[in-house]
Amino acid sequence: MSFHTGMHRMMNATDEKPKLSRPLLKRVLAYALPYRWSLVAMLLLILATTGLSLLNPLIVRNLIDQTIPQKNLTRLVWLALALLMIPALSGAMNVLQRRLSSNVGEGVIYDLRVALYSGLQRMSLRFFTNTKIGELMSRLNNDVVGAQTAISSTIISIVTEVVQAAAVLVVMFTLEWRLTLIALVIMPLFIVASRKLMDRLRDISRQQLEANAQMNAMMNETLNIGGALLVKLFGQRETEVNRFSDRAHEVRSLGVDRAFTGSLFFAIVGLISAVGTALVYGLGGYFVISGKFTVGTIVAFGSYLASLYGALQGLANAPLDFSTSLVSFERVFEVLDLPPDIIEMPEALVLERVRGEITFDAVSFQYEKGDEHFLSDVHRYGSIENVAAALSGKEEPANHEEEGSVHTQARGYALQNVSFTAAPGQLTALVGPSGAGKTTLTYLIPRLYDPSSGRILIDGHDLREVTLDSLCAQIGMVTQETYLFHDTVRTNLLYAKPDASQSELEEACRAANIHDFIAQLNDGYDTIVGERGYRLSGGEKQRLALARVILKDPRILVLDEATSSLDSESEALIQEALKRVMAGRTSIVIAHRLSTILAADQILVIDRGEIIEHGNHASLLAQNGLYAALYHTQFRKGEA
């Protein structure tokens, strides 16, 4: 390994120290097991290339000491051909070794990524609401790539350098043991100087990465459409330019320091190497003059000396390289070892013909404390996710909650002792203040969460006793924030039914009052909707989401009827579509429209996680409670 490679690895290493244990190493090596024959082949190639590399100095020695002085043309031709063939053979074996190495490395990356992605798909919604997406992406990319180097690169490099150092030392001792001892005497100076300068380089590199992260975070905040608009509206262009200039200046200064220290490192290492080389050639020259040594031996010895220093420097850095790779493996294993909190019973029932009766039996639910610590905090230098405050640079403050005397929705339990039954084919409307627990209630029906206590039944079966796939097949859900993939209209619709025909797509879109709109697009159903569907209006996205649910054809419909951002035309189209969608289905709707509430078979009024009123529109108005207040302040005004 070259000095440049060693410097690069040490500068980019973290300070985290993994706990080296037998179970950890055994688990790491388990990922190498499927590639054991490739690794064996790589080791054999390493031995072969190392053996070939030892021949060149000996050939040069023979040329100088015997072939040329003896004017042996035949041997000269053969040795010249050998000098040509050895690099050719070494090159071919290095290409093959690189092929095997990349096969092992990419294979390990593939295995880890698929295992990670599969594990993440098993996690509940609670996990994703408490984990930063940037952290997950780092584990799937940075840590996976870092982990595979332990198998495909670091271990192989250690073996290579050990074999090379041992072989070179044996040959050097065979040539002249006194010169070999002199070459080894300066090694402590070589390693100490390397370590001291590497520590300094690593500190500067870390500071530069942190400064880059601050600068990048600021660019992300001020150059996206929202940030750029805010800068212009408040006239802060000059302020942000100055702020960016300060951060860019810090990056520049650290870059200069890094370049200077790096050049100093190579100068000192080169000087120490030169001291060893000078001593070897000086003493070797004396031996030649004394008649105890040949010129060819000195030349060969010098070649071996460079190989020895390179191998020993690589071995000095090997523990750090291996530790860094193991840190990445630990982070990958941390995700793989997370237990899913939504577990399917071994003998779970497969739901087939469902009537659609939903029963909540004394259900309570609490968002558990400590949910924010699913994954350990990982500080990655240079990662934007590590920047707490993008503009001010301040640390993230502690979260303090204050309790006031006013009536709020802040509480320990999201739902408390909720009991009701939604009969098959009936419409149940959920109403209540924002934060009362309506959305949480709807999330429990498809088992995005499990109740903290109580149980939820579908046709008399506890949700925990049925398979997740069959439960999902019976429930269609349209959330308040409609999510569309950055793909075509067709792909987004087919997510509900991958084998749906074009006629089925069009039928579902007609039922959702969106087909005519799609037909007028330039590419029709093959139109790209953009990131999160940003090319569509709010009403168009909602109708497309309804069409997707219609295509799924579920027996139970769960709907957050958000309408705050819709114009009157979109509102009317969606109302008409909803009548079609809810017909004959058990529907549980977070209601914002008076028309939906009036059509409901039962209305549940939720406040602070509890059902405080229950009945139809007329009976609830007569109670003159929270529902009556909401009706007079929101629903009637909104309908007008």
Residue 604 has what pLDDT? 92
Nearest to 543 by CA among 475, 492, 592, 599: 492
Give the burial string for 442-451 (b: 16+ CB within 10 Å, else e): bbbbbbbbbb
Domain identity same for 171 and 183: no
* Structural domain harbouring 452: 421-639
Query: In this predicted structure, what is the pLDDT of residue 71?
Result: 83
**278 lies in the same domain as 334:** no
Q: Which residue has the higher pLDDT, 587 or 227?
A: 587
- Residue pLDDT, tens place only, 242-252: 988 988 998 88
Residue 548 contacts by C-beta under 8 Å, 6 or more apart in sequence? 492, 493, 495, 496, 508
Q: What is the pLDDT of residues 401-458, one digit of tens each?
A: 444 444 555 566 788 999 999 999 889 999 988 888 888 899 899 888 889 899 999 9
What are the φ/ψ torsions at residue 577 (nearest 5 degrees)?
-65, -40
The answer to whether residues 325 and 286 belong to one domain is: no
Q: What is the CATH number of the domain that holds 594?
A: 3.40.50.300
pLDDT of 591:
82
User: Per-residue b/e over 83-114, b at no fewer than 16 CB within 10 Å?
Assistant: eeebeeebeebeeebeebbeebbebbbeebbe
What is the average per-residue pLDDT within 511-521? 86
Res 114 pLDDT > 80:
yes
**pTM greater than the 0.85 cutoff:** no
- pLDDT higher for 481 or 97? 97
Q: Check residue 288 and give its pLDDT.
A: 80
Same domain, 213 and 139: no
Residue 288 in domain: yes
- CATH of residue 148's domain is 1.20.1560.10
Chain segment 119-171, per-residue pLDDT in tens? 888 887 778 877 777 677 777 877 787 777 767 767 777 788 888 888 888 88
Are residue 133 and residue 209 in the same domain, yes or no? no
Q: Establish if 416 belongs to a structural domain.
A: no
- Say what angle helices 73-121 and 295-336 make with each other, to 10 degrees: 10
**pLDDT greater than 70 at residue 371:** no
Q: Are residues 286 and 321 in the same domain?
A: no
Same domain, 155 and 211: no
Residues 265 and 324 reside in one and the same domain: no
Residue that is last in its domain, among 228, 257, 292: 292
- Residue 7, pLDDT > 70, answer no
Integer Cα distance of 498 and 480 in angstroms? 24
**Residue 627's pLDDT band (boundaries 50, 70, 90)?**
confident
Distances (CA, A) of 257 to 200, 213, 252, 260, 264: 10, 18, 9, 5, 10
Structural domain count of the chain? 3
Sheet architecture: strand order including 415-422: 415-422, 358-365, 453-458, 461-462
Rg for the chain, CA atoms, rounded: 35
Q: Please indicate, yes or no, if residue 400 is contained in any of the structural domains.
A: no
> Do 270 and 201 share a domain, yes or no?
yes
Q: Dump the DSSP string for 605-635.
A: EEETTEEEEEE-HHHHHHHTSHHHHHIIIII
Residue 594 lies in a domain: yes
Percent of the chain topping pLDDT 70:
82
Position 569 pLDDT exceeds 60: yes
The pLDDT of residue 515 is above 90: no
Q: Where is mean pLDDT largest: 296-300, 467-471, 565-569?
A: 467-471
Closest residue by Cα to residue 93 from 39, 50, 58: 50
For residue 286, being part of any structural domain is answered with yes
Q: And the tokens for 455? A: 């149980």
pLDDT of residue 563: 52
> Of 191, 202, 270, whose CA–CA distance to 8 is shortest?
202
Mean pLDDT of 357-381: 71
Average pLDDT on 352-370 reads 84
Mean pLDDT score across all residues of the chain: 79
Residue 263 lies inside a defined structural domain of this protein: yes
56 with 99, same domain: the answer is yes
pLDDT score recorded for residue 255: 85
- Per the listing, tokens 């069409």 go with 547
- Tell me if 415 is assigned to some domain: no
Looking at 280, 306, 339, which one is the last position of a domain?
A: 339
Shared domain for 75 and 161, answered yes or no, is yes
CA distance 291 to 285: 10
In a domain, 52, yes or no: yes
Q: Same structural domain for residues 611 and 471? A: yes
